[in-house]
Structure 1
Amino acid sequence: MRYPSILVTDFDGTLTSQDYYRLVRDRLVPDDTPDYWSLYRNGQLTHFEALRAYFAAARPDEPTHLALVDLMGLDPNLAQSVAALNEQGWKVVVVSNGCQWYIDRLLRQAGVDLEVHANPGALEGGRLAMHWPTDTLYPSKQTGIDKAAVIRAYLEEGRTVAFAGDGATDVAPALLVPPNRRFARADLAEGLREQNASFRPFERWSEVANALLESTGEAS
């Protein structure tokens, strides 16, 4: 087994400092647009439907959509961190409830080739159209991609699994891994505190990589 260990990581707000949907909402969505996020929180929309609604409500402006991808703030140490993790037997797998279009774009710019599980999409008519994933092995009616199912699949293979995330939808997957391999910030950290579940805080994704590398070095 080339990679006995797997780091499953969220993308928006975890590998990046900004969520793409928030950038779109704040810069491209008209002021009179419904608060789709509140509708999601109240159970009137799924997580997937809320994101897709914001993307559909944005004014058609392809240059700005492209510029917003660059404003997400991908960790500048990503390539170096991934290479170091790979060398120590860790594979990095991105599992996101966002859209693969901007994930692929940023990873290409960083020169990093990672396995990605996310909702498909593309710029269509100047807007980002996010679609239901039809060929994923890990479907979710709420989010499109079931992060917990990805982690369970790796655990069933007998691999060591770590998880890093920042969102409310990350609580369930985070609880599948032990506290010393559970990395959280923002809404995920808050959700874990509410459940009195321990975790390792981080601000930048490369801190997660460094912590795993240190632990691997101590174990060897």
Structure 2
Amino acid sequence: MPDAVLVSDFDGTMTADDFYRLVATRLLPPEALAPWDEYRAGRMTHFQALKTIFSRIRAPEEDVLAVVADMGLDPGLAASLDKLRRGGFEVVVASAGCDWYIRRLLAGAGVTLEVHANPGTYRPGGPLVMDAPPASPLTCPETGVDKAAVVRDAASRASVVAFAGDGFADLPAALLVPRERRFARADLAQALAARGETFRTFSVWSDIADMLLAGEART
């Protein structure tokens, strides 16, 4: 059993950019993000929005992998993970994105992590097909992977649980951890602030590791 668990979002949290935004900018027409607007308006689920955006990709796989490479995975990730593990932390990735690019980026960085993400495959010439994960206590129709359920699972195994994220869909998970172990930026920070909730900000993922290991977030 771990002493402590950090549950972390991936796109925009471990990386500088979200895959869906980057691929839309690089490889899709201007209206490609319309499904995201539908999600924000409550007319489409988060999962449906991403699945639809990904279904519109038509490009050689190497072009899409070039976009993946440009997502900006934190260069300090491997070293920070090593420090966290030595400090008693287990790190779990909980993503509403697609494991097709997540696992490639982590493998390229020489990193092995427990990953909960929506499965997907890239067909020759496109598209990226993202599927819903098999039904389990850690899944839900809205996002595929239920990040709040992943946090609750971590809390059943460890007395110290932290969460890091950047998106609106991260809000339920973030609210399950104490404010001193709640790390947010971008849309998640905006959503928390709108509720009057406090949180800790970060610039790159390695900042989170440093703050957790500094001690003030462990108590």
* Greater mean deviation of Cα atoms: 79-88 or 58-67: 58-67
Q: How big is the shift at 1:59?
A: 2.0
Q: How big is the shift at 1:156?
A: 2.4
Q: Are residues 34 and 193 of structure 1, via their aligned partners in 2, closer, same or farther at CA, if it must alter by over 3 Å?
A: closer
Q: Are residues 168 and 5 of structure 1, via their aligned partners in 2, closer, same or farther at CA, if it must alter by over 3 Å?
A: same
4+ residue runs over 6 A deviation? 216-219
Unaligned runs of 5+ in 1: none
| Distance (Å, rounded) in 2 between the aligned partners of 1:87 and 1:216 | 17
Q: Which residue of 1 aligns with 2:86?
A: 87
Residue aligned with 2:72, SS: coil
Q: Are residues 157 and 24 of structure 1, via their aligned partners in 2, closer, same or farther at CA, if it must alter by over 3 Å?
A: same
Q: Which residue of 1 aligns with 2:208?
A: 208
Q: Which residue of 1 aligns with 2:118?
A: 119
Q: What is the count of residue pairs matched by the alignment?
A: 218
Equivalent runs, 1:1-220 vs 2, <5 Å: 1=1, 3-33=2-32, 35-126=34-125, 127-134=127-134, 136-215=136-215
| Distance (Å, rounded) in 2 between the aligned partners of 1:216 and 1:203 | 18
Unaligned runs of 5+ in 2: none
For 2:184, the aligned partner's letter is A
Instruction: State the percentage of identical aligned residues.
Output: 50
| Distance (Å, rounded) in 2 between the aligned partners of 1:38 and 1:79 | 35
| Distance (Å, rounded) in 1 between the aligned partners of 2:136 and 2:216 | 31
Q: How big is the shift at 1:182?
A: 0.3
Q: How big is the shift at 1:70?
A: 0.4
For 2:44, the aligned partner's letter is L
Residues 136, 145 of structure 1: 8 Å contact kept: no
Residue aligned with 1:200, SS: coil
For 1:208, the aligned partner's letter is I
For 2:30, the aligned partner's letter is D
Q: How big is the shift at 1:30?
A: 2.2
| Distance (Å, rounded) in 2 between the aligned partners of 1:209 and 1:34 | 33
For 1:163, the aligned partner's letter is F
Residues 118, 145 of structure 1: 8 Å contact kept: yes
TM-score (norm 1): 0.94
Residues 88, 216 of structure 1: 8 Å contact kept: no
Show CA shifts across 1:69-101 (max 9, x none). 100000000000000000010011000000011
Q: How big is the shift at 1:187?
A: 0.3
Q: How big is the shift at 1:42?
A: 1.3
TM-score (norm 2): 0.95
Q: Are residues 169 and 34 of structure 1, via their aligned partners in 2, closer, same or farther at CA, if it must alter by over 3 Å?
A: closer
Q: Are residues 64 and 87 of structure 1, via their aligned partners in 2, closer, same or farther at CA, if it must alter by over 3 Å?
A: same
